[in-house]
Amino acid sequence: MPDGILVKEAAARWKLTEQSVTGMCRNGKIPGAFKEGGTWYIPADAEKPADGRVRSGAYKKAQSKTKLPLPVGISDYRVASTEYYYVDKTLMIKDFLDERPQVSLFTRPRRFGKTLNMDMLRTFFEKTDEDTSVYFRDKAIWKQGEKYQAYQGKYPVIFLSFKDVKCESWQETIQKLAETIGSEFARHAELLSTEACNDVDKAYFRRVMERTASDMELSGALLTLTRMLHEHHKIAPIIIIDEYDTPIQQGHTRDFYDQVILFMRNLFSGGLKDNSHLTFGFLTGILRVAKESIFSGLNNLSVYSVVDDSFSEYFGFTHVEVKQMAAYYGAGRNYSELCEWYDGYRFGKSKIFNPWSVINYFQRKCKLQAYWVSTSSNDVIGEVLASASTELYEDLYALLRGETITAYIDTGVVYPQIGSVPSSVYSFLLVTGYLKLVSVVPPLGEGALCEVALPNQEIAFVYKKEILDKLSVFIPQSMSMSIQKAIYSGNVESLRKQMRQLLLQSVSSFDTSHEDFYHGLLLGICAMMDNRYYITSNRESGEGRFDIQLMPKTNNLPGFLIEVKWMENASRQSLAALARSAIRQINEKHYDTELRTHGVNQVLKYGVAFSGKNVEICME
């Protein structure tokens, strides 16, 4: 059933007739109400005021003369919840207090509200001189009663964000980490004057705060700070670490992975593992990073990834939340295009919209475009794609065509696996937001075969721009266009010269030791051609399986079949003979059967033979 309650339930709750409530839905009196399959659904938090009109929090906001601005790029909870249109995620606090895991790791794609949620937790739990309950008294968590209100403003909090630790070397990274940790120590400068802490700890505290502590001393910062806060406040603190894996990813891509992993393992183990001075710990990131690589022995860690049900609705926007926002900004009729472009994510049991894109869509007066593009780098994905196999090429192009593929998904991938396990790209694409889970068989634990697809139109655009383009990054645009032109026109000599130049200029000899590489290279070039063709590979047709086929979307265009051959240390004469044998194979196996069946009258057949950086081509 879609999110929301039925008319019958709302009518009973408000002591109205079902006909009255249905009429209110039809006349737009209940913001966020929507009709699906002939049935009306109403936001679960909609209320009936004494005057008989139905309102929700979004409706009350809508009554003001000036609409609240949208929180584009706002990650400060106090500001977002008081000065902007805020989608209430405070029930996350209730769910957490009900489950009470000691250390929680939330992994979600970039721009899905991780930082704002962590600042919300900080504002709720942190003990300060200010009465911060004012930021929650009109929110859903406060309505849950004194049981949950009792935790508000109770604990000292250590808050670290590593989102800006994006350095080129380990030396720069450790300096940035020292600044980040030192600034948090300075925020708790009252510990320098407390009588509860000894002079040795205060001297250490001062070294960290002044950035003079050694790397080894710095790696123990969380353990010492939690102990000092516990001694001073007489209650164990909470640790919140946002984007914990940013420096780890940088370490991998910039070749200081071992150093950053060792530091982070010591830092986190001291603060989070068997620490009697810790009440709760929260971490966020994009990747889980397997326990054995950084969370070794951390048996109190609960991981909530994109495949888990718990907390699934708190990162990103639900259908009801988007409907309410659309109604507030007078764009209720735009809901279907919002779904087409920005919906489609599945986090555990919840269907989720990309919040960054939805906010920007309304901010830009409902202009459809890919807002999620270029919000951060994807060096890791680029690294995997650089060594893509033919099978990987085929699957990626199938996804772009809107197909569902089967892939092995492991949410506990480790960075060093990238080079040795190229198929891990699917796990990275899932956790970074480029894929959605369609189905899982068997239930997903450490890993399982899953059906995956692209979530929506925006990702199809971003996917083409940020993912597929990386596959052909080493092919100059001018050369790509020349190769495409030669293929279209049937100019075999021009095609041979262009391919030979590409192999000489851009391809390592270490890449040219098997047929799959050349197959993938040609498949990538074909994918860069215009969108007038469906590109397929290794599909049955006639009496065998062709290598590459370009099926025109309209029958007034020619179709293409390309058969790839490879021979080690072959002469030019041998390659020419091999290319001719490829043409014979196309004809003898009747690979053009599928093209002819679809009414394609003209079929150009290419036999392409490779050996090292040499190529010979035959065309019929």
**Chain segment 470-498, per-residue pLDDT in tens:** 555 556 667 777 887 888 888 888 888 88
Place of tokens 């906001």: 61
Tell me what pLDDT residue 50 has.
45
Residue pair 550/541 in contact (Cβ under 8 Å)? The answer is no
**Residue 282: which residues within 8 A CB-CB, separation 6 or more?**
103, 104, 106, 118, 121, 238, 239, 240, 241
The pLDDT value recorded for residue 521 is 74
Q: Tell me what pLDDT residue 390 has.
A: 61
278-309: b (≥16 Cβ within 10 Å) or e: bbbbbbbbbbbbbbebbbeebebbbbbbbbbe
**Block mean pLDDT (10 aa), the chain, length 620:** 71 72 74 73 70 44 68 94 96 97 94 96 95 96 96 98 94 97 96 96 97 96 98 98 92 90 92 94 83 69 90 96 95 93 92 96 92 64 62 74 83 68 78 86 68 89 66 63 81 84 66 66 69 77 87 84 88 89 91 89 89 87
Residue 68 is given by DSSP the state P
Q: What is the pLDDT of residues 353-412, one digit of tens each?
A: 999 999 999 999 999 888 987 555 556 666 666 656 667 767 777 787 778 988 888 877
Inter-residue contact 22 to 7 (CB < 8 Å) = yes
At 244 the pLDDT is: 94
CA-based Rg of the chain, rounded to a whole angstrom?
29
Locate tokens 């994918």: which residue? 527
Burial 77-103 (b: 16+ CB within 10 A, else e): beebbeebbbbbbbbbbbebeeeebeb
pLDDT value at residue 380: 61
Residue 417 CB partners (closer than 8 Å, separation 6+):
424
Please write down the long-range contacts of 528-537, taking CB distance under 8 Å and 24 or more positions apart. 528/472, 528/475, 528/480, 528/484, 529/484, 529/487, 532/557, 533/557, 533/560, 534/401, 535/397, 536/394, 537/390, 537/393, 537/394, 537/397
Q: CA-to-CA distance for 240 and 281, rounded, in angstroms?
A: 6
CA distance 409 to 230: 41
Distance, CA of 552 to chain centre: 33
- Return the pLDDT at 53: 44
Residue 351: the pLDDT is: 94
Residue showing tokens 């920007």: 360
Based on DSSP, count helices (H) and strands (E) in the chain, helices before strands: 27, 20
pLDDT at residue 155 in the model = 98
